[in-house]
Amino acid sequence: MTREMLTTKLRRVIRTGFFNFSRNGTVSLASVLVMTVTLMTIGLISFSGAVLETSLAELRDKIDVNVTFVPTASEEEILSIKHSLESLPEVLLVTYVSREEALTAFKERHASDQAILAALDELGENPLGAVLNVKARDPSQYASVADFLEGDNTLSQGGLTIIDKVNYFQNKTAIDRLSSIINSADKLGFALTIILAAISILIAFNTIRLTIYIAKDEISVMRLVGASTTYIQGPFVVVGVIYGVMAGILTLLIFLPLTYWLGGVTESFFTGFNLFSYYTGNFLQIAGIIMISGVLIGALSSILAVRKYLKV
């Protein structure tokens, strides 16, 4: 087959696909609407994933380990331990709080308790030690960080530990519980994504198969007169792609007012996460996912659905 013949055949297939789409107006409209629901489900899966990730990030941020040093520990010794902690692969961030900063923060927390402030004044000196705030890359890694802090790395030159308290052991139960919640939420989110995506694709497939059922006699006749499989499938694939493109555009348009309306709600409920800002900020990525999903679902559903009627 020459290139010119191939081009002519391709144009004919595309023209036939657009003709079939416009000819079955009511069925095409119903298919586009069903495909829109499918693509909205895929989009909502993307949104829910972002919301879940934001929620889990908030949980992770609330988990940390505070290492309180004895007041006699020198700044050089503390910064040496800070450097050692930062070199651990499990550690994401270590923040140093000096004795003076710890005292200032303590006074601010107890500004309304005159008895405590008076007791501090009577002491005449700072009774608090410096603090290292340690954040691990994953909540499950705090145990290894705590083990490191119990080792010989925290001994002074005199062989005595300069650490007064590590709050990991007091908060271990809460940290383990939060780690379990995060892991369970990750698994649940992945499972729901797979299930919802499978259901939405199945709905779209059955809808397109129904539209092809209307043309089953036409397919049988074309098969009997010797038309190739590709030539028969071509117009239906074009129709499926049109369904996907139109449904994708409609989905993106629906998401604009929907995310704008929900933006304030999500921002007040999930600190710092505005659904409308997320949608507009990641529009190209979301639009790409929705449009490609629509085209693939439409094309694959058409190919699979028409195969049944190719056997004459």
pLDDT tens for 63-75 read 778 888 888 888 8
More confident residue, 251 or 51: 251
Instruction: Give the residues across from 94 on adjacent strands.
Output: 134
Q: For position 250, what pLDDT does the model report? A: 93
- Looking at every residue in the chain, the average pLDDT score rounds to 77
At 312, the pLDDT band (50, 70, 90 cuts) reads very low
Position of tokens 């603090």? 131
pLDDT tens digits for range 217-238: 676 777 667 666 677 777 778 8
pLDDT tens digits for range 85-106: 888 888 888 888 888 888 888 7
Nearest 10 degrees: Cα torsion 105, 111, 116, 122 = 80
**94 three-class SS:** strand
Nearest to 35 by CA among 234, 296, 285: 296
**Hey, what amino acid is at 99?**
R
More confident residue, 196 or 71: 71
Instruction: Give the residues across from 155 on adjacent strands.
Output: 161
At 243, the pLDDT band (50, 70, 90 cuts) reads confident
At 197, the pLDDT band (50, 70, 90 cuts) reads low
CATH of domain 71-161: 3.30.70
* pTM for the model: 0.62
Report, as an integer, the average pLDDT of 266-277.
Answer: 76
Q: Is the pLDDT of residue 277 over 80?
A: yes
Distances from the Cα of 311 to the Cα of 91, 206, 296, angstroms: 62, 19, 24
pLDDT tens digits for range 153-195: 655 555 567 788 877 766 667 666 766 776 776 677 677 767 7
Going from N- to C-terminal start, the domains of the chain cover 11-59+179-310, 71-161
